[in-house]
Amino acid sequence: MPAPRLIDAQVLVLDQALQLLQQAGALLPDEAPMTTAWLQAVLDALCDLSSRDALTGLANRRSFEMALAREVDRVARSDEAALLLMLDIDHFKAVNDTHGHGAGDQVICAVARAIEQAVRPMDLVARVGGEEFAIILPNCAPHVGLAVAERVRERVSELDIEVGPGRLLGVTISLGGAFAPQWVRSSPLLWMERADRQLYRAKAEGRNRACLEPQVDSLVSAEERGMLFASLNLDTQQDLP
């Protein structure tokens, strides 16, 4: 196989990329321009920018979906459950209609900060839609799941958001959650659908509440786990060309 042809860094046109990073407030590399370290720093900054929501700085939907897929695989290979929370701001359309879209953006940012403050640094908080958020909580024991969801809900309900001179606004959120239990192979889409069903239930029951899918503990022996993954590996090898 011939060696890959190296690209001369001097022929790269990076003006638009650098302008994009500057407009986003990203720190530009301190290294000498067009060196390997400088180019790597630019690429890293662009990757970070592409994975974040422009308004809140949270993970965006693309980044969330990639993290969810990784977590599904991790849970299936460990003895640690994980919790997925889907949530959105109650009656958010009324906020935009009454106070304007600028106020709506302020509400979204305030809610994003409150959610981040209510969870662990290891948890991933993402904005997945207009007023919709998601939280992936690795290694979250089933018996503490509802307490975590309630902490997030309460933190948001305590907000006084200034949307104009002398105008303070309070909002609430509804949450739905589902666990990815140990040793159960699932899919990211199915996990999201299960959490979404609980979110719809929370809204149907009056909003400003958290509903979690009932957790059924599944005890699997070490021998059964070994057989499971031996079978999975065999199936994977058979599918290879």
Which active-site residues does the annotation give? 131
Q: How many CA atoms lie within 13 A of 148 on its CB side?
A: 26
CA distance 176 to 214: 11
Q: Is the dihedral of CA 119, 121, 124, 128 positive or negative?
A: positive
> At what angle are helices 92-99 and 101-118 packed, to 10 degrees?
140
Three-state secondary-structure class, residue 156: helix
Q: Nearest to residue 72, comparing CAs of 178, 206, 172, 203?
A: 178
CA distance 61 to 55: 13
CA distance 113 to 161: 12
DSSP notation for 55-112:
TT-SB-HHHHHHHHHHHHHHHHTSS--EEEEEEEETTHHHHHHHH-HHHHHHHHHHHH
The number of residues making up the chain comes to 241
Residue with token string 């638009």: 16
